[in-house]
Structure 1
Amino acid sequence: MSAPAPSRFRIVPRDAAVRRRGTSLLFALVWTVGVGAAWWAASHTAAPRLAKADAARANAEREVKALQSELSGLRQRESTLSRSDQISRAANAEVQEALAERDEEIAALRADIAFFERLVGSTSQRKGLTVHVAEFVPEAGGTWRYQIMLTQTVNRGAISQGQMRFTVEGVRAGKLAAVQWDELHQQRSAPAQAYSFRYFQQLDGNVMLPPDFTPQRVKVSLHGEDAAVEQALDWKTATAAGGK
């Protein structure tokens, strides 16, 4: 006789099923309460901290903006001060240069005054229009730089006016020769050099001597309304004076 087939149904006592359902409901209730408690704790704990963090971040941003503005102002001030310092240095350099020029002018004026005092002093001999000194200095390219000082002390209130030319005399090709004003300036009808002074005046310029010419003396001619002077000076003396 075969064994009976197992039944698909199971008989459960009613009290056990009720207890199991109650346990499930209790567990769900506890979980719900736990989740609610966690949410409440998070909302009352994290939310204030988040608000404080937002406030701190806003304060930090304001401080950063203030520092950036201050830094920009400091950079602008530094740029302005740097530019002002450059301008001050440039102005100071210009002042120093101007002072140096004025010192040179003062020194030149003092030299002129000393020369004038010697020229018109009580013990000096008064002279009419004359060539006080002539100086010749060689330059690069074969030219000669000349400086000729004219003076007059006879009439201290008069103005001497006129024109100056000079001729250089010497030897060319074994013969006596004279290099005239036009040849010295290498042009035809070279204009004479004008002068106008009360006590003294220095005339200067450049001339060219022929390469085969040996100078010996310079003859200066002065032609004015009230005077005509021709004066010869030794070339060696003139070049020695120019080389001092």
Structure 2
Amino acid sequence: MASRPPPRFVVRPHDEASQRRRRLWLGAAWLASLLLTALMVGMLAWRTTPAAVDRREAKQLAAENESLKQQVANLRRAQQVTDIATRSLRGTLAEREEEINGLRADLGFYSRLVGGNAQREGLKVQEVQLRPVGGSHAWNLALSLTQNAKRGSDVSGTVTLSVEGVRADKVVALDWSALGDAAQKDGLPFRFRYFQQLHATFMLPADFKPTRLRIHVRSEDDDGVDRTVAWSDALSGNLTTIEGGH
């Protein structure tokens, strides 16, 4: 038998429930789109309100403030490290300068002692050092005398001191009789061939401000030596700026 062609029309029963569900889904989707649109519009409007702008600016300023605080803290720490390093370097430089001054003094002392210039020189005040006595107005003095080793003979004599300074707004000088004790009223005795160090302790008035120390060396054989040393140099033991002398 010949097969029959398929029908051109199909008759199906009308489903009203399915159409209602479709319409409900379409309505719900449309309502959801409206709600989403309204929410987005509301958020945009909220972000553009003055209060929202102020909040954003306040938050941004707070973040910048915290960043600046951190930068300041870092700079302070860096400055502290730099200060510590600078103080350490200054201390090291001061120590090295003190060592160099000591070596220079030693070099001058031994150069004069051995007489490298082949001259027969006489007495010389090689070193002067002052140290305060704690809890008083007294001072300890250490004084080094030298002569050229080429002289080859002993030298003897006495040393006296005088201190110049300011007292009651006047420049005054205190001689040895006002500084030394009764047992050494004639001065500090010395006798040596190459060098000798002398020690003495003297007292200054409480209202006296010293500025210079005068040293008078009297020898039995020579005319003697007078030296003027700035008080600050005597405190540091630095005689590179000794004034006067013969």
| TM-score interval (norm. to shorter) | 0.3 to 0.5
Give the TM-score of the pair, scaled to structure 1: 0.48
TM-score norm. by structure 2 comes to: 0.47
